[in-house]
Amino acid sequence: MMTRSVWLWARLAFVSLFSLLLSATAGELVQPHKLNPYTGDPDAIKAGRALFLQMGCSGCHGVGGGGGMGPALLDDEWRFGSDDETLSKLIKGEMPQQTMPSVFGQALPDDDVWKILAYVRSLYRGDPTKINW
């Protein structure tokens, strides 16, 4: 028969282990997928800006990303998330319930999508602690 102190130590060990596993799992869930090889690359940002204008992104998001018909790209308020994987899927039209036209993104090679995202990243003026790319 377990004494009361042994029982309490066993419960404490179980709760501690469970908490550790839960926090590790939660940490894995919130880790963004950093996929963009062009983030911070000046040449890619310049090419991304040209693509942003050429593909008509500025028609909704504004030339400088300040918004218009579509949301601003300068802040940290993103409907679907702001990690590389999510935004790549959004541009390609692969996000359920998205309102952004997918026809442009579907026509772009992945390389061009990453360059556009590098440009969008360069516009960011939100909270630096929320950067996940």
CA separation, residue 115 to residues 4, 6, 59, 94, 120 (Å): 63, 60, 18, 18, 9
**What tens digit of pLDDT does each residue of 32-88 get?**
557 899 999 999 999 999 999 999 999 999 999 999 999 999 888 888 888 899 999
Q: Which residues contact 34 (CB under 8 A, 6 or more apart)?
A: 83, 84, 132, 133
Whole-model pTM? 0.71
Helices (H) and strands (E) in the chain, counts: 6, 0
Check if the beta carbon of residue 40 is closer than 8 Å to that of residue 118.
Answer: yes
The pLDDT assigned to 23 comes to: 46
**What tens digit of pLDDT does each residue of 87-115 get?**
999 999 898 888 888 777 788 999 999 99
Token pair, residue 93, equals 């039209």
Q: Which CATH number fits domain 42-130: 2.160.10.10, 3.40.50.970, 3.40.640.10, 1.10.760.10?
A: 1.10.760.10
